[in-house]
Structure 1
Amino acid sequence: MLVGELINKVTNKEITIKELAKLYHVTDQTIQRKIKKLGYSWDKKKEVYKYVGKSPQPVNIDFSTLFRKKQTVPNAPRKNKSKNKVIVRNSSSDVIDVLLVGTKASSKRVYQGFYFDKDVLSIINSVPKSYKSELINEALKKVFKEKGLL
């Protein structure tokens, strides 16, 4: 991912620093440090990265080249060892793909708490309590099937 694209996605909240850290197999602090070294500063009030470095702005640098480890090529298939499924990384990959890399499917139901956006939660709360888990499971299964993960 190019630096300009990465900065725009973080600013537009399409991806988080935590998701980038997972994608590049580093810590959140490492991602923040690399962005700062490129000349960007986080504006807390506006919640955007501002370029404060010397011209020209490094928007066309491939962000993965800033790490010592060799990163996976964006268009190369990547194997998920736990499922032996190939997840293809390309320009159509989205946040769900990033989050799912390296996850395992469990055969048993397990209680898990999550934070939901208010609009999503209002839909979940509109069904009877006994059907909420079914609704969430079916909605997620549909997305995962579309992604080829189930």
Structure 2
Amino acid sequence: MLVKEILNKIMLKEMTIKELAALYNVSDRTIQSKIKKLGYEWNSKKSIYNYVGEDPEPVDVDFNTLFGQTSKMLAEQKQTNSEIAASASTSTSKVDAIDLLLQSPKDRSKRVYRGFYFDDDVLSIIDRVPKSYKSELVNEALRKVFKEKGLLD
């Protein structure tokens, strides 16, 4: 992914520094320092990254190139897994919406907040998913069960 795409996702709150750090198997601090070394500064009041560097803005730089070979391979493997899951959804495999959500995000629809209590075993699975995808996972899991029971089309 390009630097401009990463920064836009962070500013639009589609991705967090923590999720990006997990993708590259590094710390939050490492991600922040890599972005800073590119010449960007975080403006906490506006929640945006401002370019303060002297060179031309590195928006078309591939973010993978900022990390060592191991991190690059991990990120590419995760990206490849997402692509495999996406292509598998078009074929007649057993990959369903829940599998896809566990590997890649989905467009959000209008939502209504409700609070529920979860058992520890169920919560441990939900907690494996990045924060921004938990609602999608729960919705898809419930949708799948409701369809199997004939309650949804």
Query: TM range, normalised to the smaller chain?
Result: 0.5 to 0.7
Aligned pair count reads 108
Contiguous gaps of at least 5 residues in structure 2? 87-99, 106-110, 119-134, 146-153
Matched residues, percent identical?
A: 41
Aligned partner of 2:53: which letter? G
Q: CA contact under 8 A between 2:24 and 2:74: conserved in structure 1?
A: no
Structure whose residues are more often helix by fraction: 2
CA distance in 2, matches of 1:39, 1:144: 46
In 2 relative to 1, CA 30–89 (structure 1 residues): closer, same or farther, beyond 3 Å?
farther
Does the 8 A contact of 2:18 with 2:28 survive in 1?
A: yes
1:53-92 aligned at under 5 Å gives the runs 53-70=53-70, 71-72=72-73, 78=78, 87-89=81-83
Aligned alpha-carbon RMSD (Å): 3.7
Could you say which residue in structure 2 is the equivalent of 1:46?
46
| Corresponding residue number in structure 1 for 2:22 | 22
Q: Which has the higher strand share?
A: 1
SS in 2 for 1:4: helix
Q: Could you list the runs of 4 or more consecutive aligned residues of structure 1 that deviate by over 6 angstroms after TM superposition?
A: none
5 Å-filtered alignment, 1:1-150, equals: 1-70=1-70, 71-72=72-73, 78=78, 87-89=81-83, 97=103, 120-121=112-113, 124=114, 139-141=139-141
Whole-Å separation in 1 of the counterparts to 2:144 and 2:73? 22
Residue 138 and residue 96 in structure 1: after superposition, are their counterparts in 2 closer, same or farther (change >3 A)? closer
Aligned partners of 1:52, 1:143: CA distance in 2, in Å? 47
> Deviations along 1:51-78, whole A, 9 cap, x unmatched?
000131000111111111331387x665
> What SS class does the counterpart of residue 72 from structure 1 fall into?
helix
Structure-2 separation of matches of 1:141 and 1:98: 15
Distance 1:144 1:26, change over 3 A: farther
Q: Per-residue CA shift, 1:93-116, capped at 9, x if unaligned?
A: x985369xxxxxxxxxxxxxxxxx
Q: Could you tell me the TM-score, scaled by structure 1's length?
A: 0.57
